[in-house]
Structures are given as C-alpha cells and as structure tokens.
Structure 1
C-alpha cells in the first residue's frame, strides 16, 4: 500500500482528505502540532481504518526536520495546512500568515525532495485567483488569472497575498527542482465538519442563520460568492494526485451565487432560524471556471445536498438550536 502524507491533518479540509485516503486503502501519515491533543486530533483516530493505517507526526510548517520525518517513505504529499484568519484584520500578517504560508511551503517542498516524494498536491485558494481588478468583468476567471498582489496588499487582503505567493513559489519550485507539483484553488468550502473545532467558512454559514457573530445584525451584504463542498474538494485533491495526466494549476468551484439567493434557499429548506432581513447591494465578481478540473472527470453534488448535510451537522454538534423543522425527505 502506498503511503501519502497530509499536512495539517486535523483541519477541516485535511480531515476529509485523510478519511478518503483511508477508505481507499492508503497508509496515511498526518502532520499535526500535537498528536496527543485529543480535542483537536482525536476525531482522526476514530476514522475507519485509522488504527491500522494512520500515523500522526508532530510537525508544523516551520519545522523542516519534523516534516522530513513525516514524509519519509511517502510516495505523495498533500499539502493542505495553511493559516486561515477568522477576521480580515490581521495585526501581524508577516508572522501570522505570510511566513507560515510561504516559508512553510518551501519547507514542505524541500522535505519532499529529501524524501524523494513522487508527487505533491498543494492546496491553494480561490483567493489566489479572485482579487484581480484588471480581469475583464464579463469573463470567467480561469487558471490564467492570478490575484494582483500589490492591489491585495493595498486593501489588506493578507490571506489572498499569502496564498498567492505560496502557490507561485510552489509552481516555480517545481520548475527549478524537477518535482511534480500540482496546485488546486478551491472557492469557499462548505459542508459537514469532521473536526470538533469550528473553521472559518463554517462561521460564515452560521452567520447566515443567526445574528450572533453577524456584523450589523440583520443586515448583510448581497455579494456574489463561489462555493464548493468539502467532500467534492477532497475528491478533487485525490483525483489530481492519482491522475497521471494532472499538471499545473486547477480551479475547484461548483457554484457561484449571491448571498441573498443563498440565504433564501437555506430559509426555504430550514425555516425558523434568524436569517438576515436586509441586504445591501455590493458589486463583485466570483465566477470561477473549473473546466480544466472537470476535464479530468471531476464532478460535484447539488448545492441543496451540501446545505442539508451542513445544517444537520451544525445541529448535531450543538452549533444550532435543536428542534427546528427539518425537511422529512429531500431528493436531489
């Protein structure tokens, strides 16, 4: 059985990647800050086949030696770990975002070279694509579109800066050092959580359903956002790793929808929650083209299925009030 290492294994996306790898028969190495932290990583040990085929290693992105130990004997590395701020305001972007993303990616790739890893998939972000004011308004954004770094800095979009620079470094590294590196840029990721600690994009969806944490109370910007289900994204990551024809950069996005329409869809399916009542219009463009990824055979589930599974997960985890009306049956 081939060994594959997943960085940041206890995170939202990475936990699903680990789950899918285990279900497909892989031996899995996972890097985490503390393998003994049951609150953050205990859910990984409960996954099916984890006892026999999952090994957690203590390492963070700035720990080169720890990464080398985790990658030893692995034929592939799926680099998912990267800091995601819960708030747009980042007091120290260099330390909090840029160093872990850029230097961390360099450490990961150098450790891959040392371990003679055959293939690396680096999970970038749609934010490495979207922040580009010069892209034609009537044109979907494809893999040729990159975030304008200087513009992103000027509006303090530090997460976008960190992901863009890290992805650029990954692709340049591949050219310099003859390492097979694939990058994937997912849009906003939704879907059920496996991990116990709530992630940033789940906070966004929760803000659609209750006032707590929602800036302006019942008022919300009606902006266009792209979405993809965490399970569809995880399958895309494995597809890129396993498919010998994958190369370069891939966008991974399923739907683009305005906030008001998304909230209306949620409310029609799950009435009774505290949805926003007023929407202020905000121009924006968030049409990401996933044609290249679909060309490898990638597909995605209906948006309604993602919403249902996400909301049920929130209720089961105690993040939303129980007893609200649920649809008795839904077909997709």
Structure 2
C-alpha cells in the first residue's frame, strides 16, 4: 500500500470516539486526512483541529452518509477510505451509508477501503459452539437479532454483508475490522459514546450492573489495527480486534486497586455467558495490544481531565 508521504485518506464520521483517535494517528504518520462530519463548525469537532498537524493536513467535509454526492466529494483524490461512521438512526441508514461510501470509493478508484464492522456481527448467535474459539468465519444470526430486537448488531451485520457482496461483485479491495467493546481515553467530552458511558457509570456507582463477560479493546490499539489494515499489502478479509475478556465486576476490582475512593456499584446481576475470541489473525499482521490496566487508568485520567469525575 501507499507510504504516508503526502498521501490523502478519508475517515468517515471523523469526530467519533474511534475515528478521532484514527485521525490523530494518521496525522502523526504524515497523512493528509479528509474527515467527514455533519457540521464542520460544531463545537464537538473542535478537538480535531487541535491535533498536531491538523491545520495543514486535516480538512473537514460537511458530508451526509445518505448523500452520495457529499460523500464522493470527500473521498475523491484519496488513496484509502476508513469507513468508521455508524449512523445512530440504525438499520437502513447504516446500510445505505455503507453503500454510498463503497460506491464513491469505487468511482474514486481508491486503493483500499477499511471498513469498521463489529464483533456483534459475529457473536450474537445462540448456536455458537461453547468449546471452540470463535474466529472470523462466524456470523451472528439475523433472525435471532430481529426477535431479540438487537438492532445495532443487526445493522452492523447487514451493512457488512452488503460490503462483502459489493467487494465480490466489483473487485474493490476491502478489509473488514470487527472490534469488541472499545474502551480508552476520550479526546472530547461533548458527546460520549456508549462504552465510555458504561465505564464512567461503574466509577459513579450506577447499579445494578449486569455482570456479563465483555471482550475489551483499547481505542488506540483499534486505531493501530485500522492503519495496519491499510498499510499492510497482505491484509485481506475480516479481522477480529480484541485484547482480553473481563466482567464488569472484574473491571471494578481493577479500578479499585488504582482509585479506591470512587463510589463503585455493589449489586451485580450474574449472567451465564461465556465466549472465547481471538485476534490471532490480526496479530499475524504485526498488531499488538496494551494491558487492560493501562486502558483503564488512561480512561479514568481522561474523564478527570474532562471534568466528568
């Protein structure tokens, strides 16, 4: 793939939790970044222009994922597209937005599209084997998601299926990354994502807490994975991006060891759920991840700095 020198790349949903860290990383590597946002002048995107190199190498585009023309204007001239944005309106916008990004990428002749899916497109299936490590070949069950009204996984699965079908039909170079629960330090506090709120609520003692196993990934390690997925020529197909499993009660104990004075929850609802995941395929590209404790400490310090604790 392209070297960073003066190469343009596009990041959709550039103001989001994951995308902000990706933009920061790309700028630090010398890339020129086109970021799509809904309202470039909005205060919630101000942090992006404070990144080192942003004044010279970051351009924000007022782009609606449901408008092909606006997406194309952000993508044209770019070597790669990182499709990180996920419309909050859920199913149809997620699918239509993905379709527009892929079509624009094809017309703009980008080298590769790196698509952010989700582990929820893999693991929501009552028939998954308990005695095996779940790898990239598995898929969630659409009917199960529909019956249980799990609309976020349903939308991610439909959008990823569309992306896969599009790539098979057109030959566009597509790499898909499926992250698990994304934690880590925040770069802006005007609109917190759901996983940051989850961790913040543990620190504030919100209870009861469903003590269900979660597989964690640090947002900075995910950004590294996304860049690897573009830069490594051999990257192909689908990659699970995760580090380690932990239950909320485990997270509380880990947090307590460093921050004993917060009002942690004491009521936990036990859930009989276990799944084994692996990022072995991603690690073969040269990817690695940091310890959970580092993720938790850096998260808490960022919440404190933002005045959230």
Q: TM-score scaled to structure 1, two decimals?
A: 0.90
Which residue in 2 is equivalent to 1:262? 251
CA distance in 2: counterparts of 1:180 and 1:160, whole angstroms:
24
Cα distance in 1, alignment partners of residues 21 and 160 from structure 2: 22
Are 1:209 and 2:207 counterparts? no
CA distance 1:290–1:107, change in 2 (3 Å): same
Separation of aligned partners in 1, 2:100 and 2:151: 21
What do you get for the CA RMSD once the two structures are aligned?
1.0
User: Structure 1 residue 83: deviation in Å?
Assistant: 3.0
SS state at 1:262 partner: helix
Where in structure 1 do 4 or more consecutive aligned residues deviate above 4 Å? none
Q: 1:315 to 1:24 in 2, by over 3 A?
A: same
Q: Given the alignment of the two structures, is residue 242 of structure 1 paired with residue 241 of structure 2, yes or no?
A: no
Contact 1:40 1:195 in 2 (8 A): yes
Once residues 152 and 274 of structure 2 are traced to their aligned partners in structure 1, the CA distance between those partners, rounded to angstroms, is 18
Q: Aligned to 2:125, what secondary structure does the other structure show? A: coil
- Out of 39, 43, 48, the position equivalent to 1:34 is 39
SS in 1 for 2:294: helix
1:78 to 79, 82, 107: 82
Q: Is the 8 A contact 1:222 1:260 kept in 2?
A: yes
1:285 deviates by 2.5
* Local SS of the residue matching 1:136: coil
Distance 1:200 1:83 in 2: 14
Structure 2 portions without partners, runs of 5+: 1-5
**Post-superposition offset of 1:279:** 1.7
Counterpart residue number, 1:274: 263
Deviation, 1:23, is 0.3
Query: Which residue pairs with 1:111 in the alignment?
Result: 104
- Does residue 140 of structure 2 align to residue 147 of structure 1? yes
SS at match of 2:134: coil
- 1:33–1:58 CA contact under 8 A, matched in 2: yes
Distance 1:137 1:230 in 2: 28
Deviates more, 1:195-204 or 1:158-167: 195-204
How far residue 222 of structure 1 moved from its aligned partner, in angstroms, is 1.5
Answer yes or no: is the 8 Å Cα contact 2:130–2:275 preserved in 1.
no
Tell me the secondary structure at the aligned position of residue 178 of structure 2. strand
Q: Distance in 1 between matches of 2:276 and 2:258?
A: 25
- 1:162 equivalent among 150, 155, 160: 155
Q: Give the length in aligned residue pairs.
A: 303
